[in-house]
Structure 1
Amino acid sequence: MNSVIKSEIRALRQNAHVAYIGSVNENGFPQIKGMLVLEHASMKTQYFSTNTSSKRVKQFLNNPKASVYYSDETRNKYKGALFTGTMEVCTDHDTKALLWRDGFEIYYPKGIDDEDYCVYKFTAETVNYYHGLSNLTLPIDDL
């Protein structure tokens, strides 16, 4: 695969402030939610923080199939990367500590171990890249 395309996919993820997370509800319909990107370390494994009481936690526990979408629409040519894989809901201290930030106490008064704080661990299997007239899907391990 072209190293330029690989670099563009990595740049979309690494420069993102928001990702769009896809889940499936109890009726089989797709649900999309924008979430803040708090880490940029890996293409295959991606983490997001949320409330344990959120409806998407229940959706991912019932059906772990998920997608994460990053885009750059600030340039003349739109770019997007759709990662497809599975989502795990993590409630252990070590995983929650990965994304904990000063100020989260406003939402989670008990700190990292607040029962309403959890972390999504997304494991990508494929990525579909869009740019101009290009549309390329590849296994995540090729990235």
Structure 2
Amino acid sequence: MKNAENTIGNLIDKQGVAFISSVDGDGFPNTKAMLPPRKREGIRTFYFTTNTSSMRAAQYRDNPKACIYFCDRRFFRGVMLKGTMEVLEDSESKEMIWREGDTMYYPKGVTDPDYCVLRFTAAEGRYYSNFKSETFEI
């Protein structure tokens, strides 16, 4: 892959779904489909919204090891990013990714105590395309 950031960034930006994985208390992976990240900084840092009271937020607080996956079904290619997930509840993070219409999920608005931000920071990735996989550092 010539330019990982462009190739992978373009793949990610075209997907309507992101898959995030956490580790449960028994050490098993748990994967969930989510709306795409609200914001990304290159292919290292991604921001998602979720409920503070969610099972996923609790799992990330207990064990920050995480992975996110994006799949381009049309061209049968995808990318897995491994790293850590932080649960952020500060007003600056919440305001940064808040969007009009979010009150459908968080009725009390941007200050809703059940609204938080998940910040994923990638350490490495694995890209699959043309029946080949390659691992890359971030």
Shorter-chain TM-score above 0.5:
yes
Letter matched to residue 96 of structure 2: L
**CA–CA distance in 2 between the matches of 1:6 and 1:47?**
17
Offset of residue 59 of structure 1: 0.3
**CA–CA distance in 2 between the matches of 1:51 and 1:63?**
17
The match for 2:105 among 85, 104, 107 is 107
Is 2:24 aligned against 1:2?
no
**CA–CA distance in 2 between the matches of 1:48 and 1:16?**
14
Offset of residue 84 of structure 1: 0.3
Offset of residue 6 of structure 1: 4.7
Pick which of 10-19 and 119-128 moved more: 10-19
Partner of 1:54: 54
Partner of 2:14: 15
**CA–CA distance in 2 between the matches of 1:6 and 1:91?**
28
- 1:1-143 → structure 2 map (5 Å cutoff): 2-3=2-3, 6-37=5-36, 38-75=38-75, 78-140=76-138
Report the 3-state secondary structure (helix = DSSP H, G, I; strand = E; otherwise coil) of the residue aligned with 2:67. Answer: strand
**CA–CA distance in 2 between the matches of 1:31 and 1:111?**
28
Pick which of 108-117 and 9-18 moved more: 9-18
Report the 3-state secondary structure (helix = DSSP H, G, I; strand = E; otherwise coil) of the residue aligned with 2:71. Answer: strand
**CA–CA distance in 1 between the matches of 2:42 and 2:6?**
13
**CA–CA distance in 1 between the matches of 2:40 and 2:93?**
15
- Contact 1:13–1:40 (Cα < 8 Å) also in 2: no
**CA–CA distance in 1 between the matches of 2:39 and 2:54?**
21
CA RMSD of aligned residues (A): 1.4
Offset of residue 41 of structure 1: 4.1
Alignment deviations for residues 78-122 of structure 1 (CA, whole Å, 9 cap, x no partner): 111000000000000110112211111122122111100000000
The percentage of aligned residue pairs carrying the same residue is 42
**CA–CA distance in 2 between the matches of 1:6 and 1:95?**
24
Alignment deviations for residues 21-76 of structure 1 (CA, whole Å, 9 cap, x no partner): 0100111110000111123443110000000010011100000000000010113x
Structure 1 ranges of 4+ moved more than 3 A: none
